A and B are shown apart, each in its own frame.
Chain A
Amino acid sequence: AQKITQTQPGMFVQEKEAVTLDCTYDTSDPSYGLFWYKQPSSGEMIFLIYQGSYDQQNATEGRYSLNFQKARKSANLVISASQLGDSAMYFCAMREDNYGQNFVFGPGTRLSVLP
């Protein structure tokens, strides 16, 4: 079964608008971490933001915020004030703390920012 689901293969957003990229996860581990990465066309993977399962507040990093809804097992990435340079693939990932230390990734969402 898929542990990370990203239901949006592709998204478009107008420059300067906000966009939400969806991520749902499946785990029975009470302790886990959720991560978002950006992969531009150059291929490098860039870490964006982290949310721990016990964190009370939603994580924020500059224009990135994570809308963490634990009961719904969702960890959506919100990008505010989109820029052309935000066009990339975005991956959601999870690390389960009691079931090994590997990182499981979703299939990704391709975001295109329109001028």
Chain B
Amino acid sequence: DVKVTQSSRYLVKRTGEKVFLECVQDMDHENMFWYRQDPGLGLRLIYFSYDVKMKEKGDIPEGYSVSREKKERFSLILESASTNQTSMYLCASGGGRRSRNTIYFGEGSWLTVV
């Protein structure tokens, strides 16, 4: 089975703190994604990466950065957390152009910024 593991399920951070959310996949996928999920808005893409050290901005990259030093690991960084970044964050991997392949999701990380 494909496994996408997110390092933290629940986090509480203070405004201004630097936050790292880590994601590891075990299927040698080239593509990896970070989404945030908010009620009524669905999943919005923050960043995605299609190869090591490659990244593309999604729809809402402001306030976030990412790192992909190894193929299996994709990290989301909040440089200075703010209360409007309180959300659920979902990591995913897989897909591929013109393929039937779905993307596989981690369990999600619930971040609360106080």
Q: CB within 8 A of B100: which of A45, A50, A104?
A: A50
A25 touches B (CB below 8 Å): no
Q: Which residue of B lies closest to A32 (CB)?
A: B98
Binding site for A on B (CB under 8 A): 31, 33, 35, 40-45, 48, 50, 56, 58, 88, 90, 92, 95-100, 102-105, 107-108
Q: Which of B31, B43, B96, B108 contacts A91 (CB 8 A)?
A: B43
Size of the A side of the interface (Cβ < 8 Å), in residues, is 25
Considering residues A43, A102, A107, which has the most beta carbons from chain B within 10 angstroms of its beta carbon?
A102
> A91 with B56: in contact, given A33-B100, A50-B102, A101-B50 (CB under 8 Å)?
no
Interface contacts (Cβ under 8 Å), in number, total 57
Question: Bound state CA distance, A47 and B4, in angstroms?
Answer: 14
**Chain A nearest CB: distance from B63 CB in Å?**
19
Contacts of A101 in B (CB 8 A): 31, 48, 50, 95-97
Tell me whether B108 and A35 are in contact (CB under 8 A).
no
Neighbouring A residues of B108 by C-beta, 8 Å: 43-44
Q: Could you say which of B42, B99, B107 has the most chain A C-beta atoms within 10 Å of its C-beta?
A: B42
Ordered nearest first, which 7 A-B pairs have the shortest CB separation? A45-B105, A105-B43, A107-B42, A47-B102, A105-B42, A43-B108, A97-B97
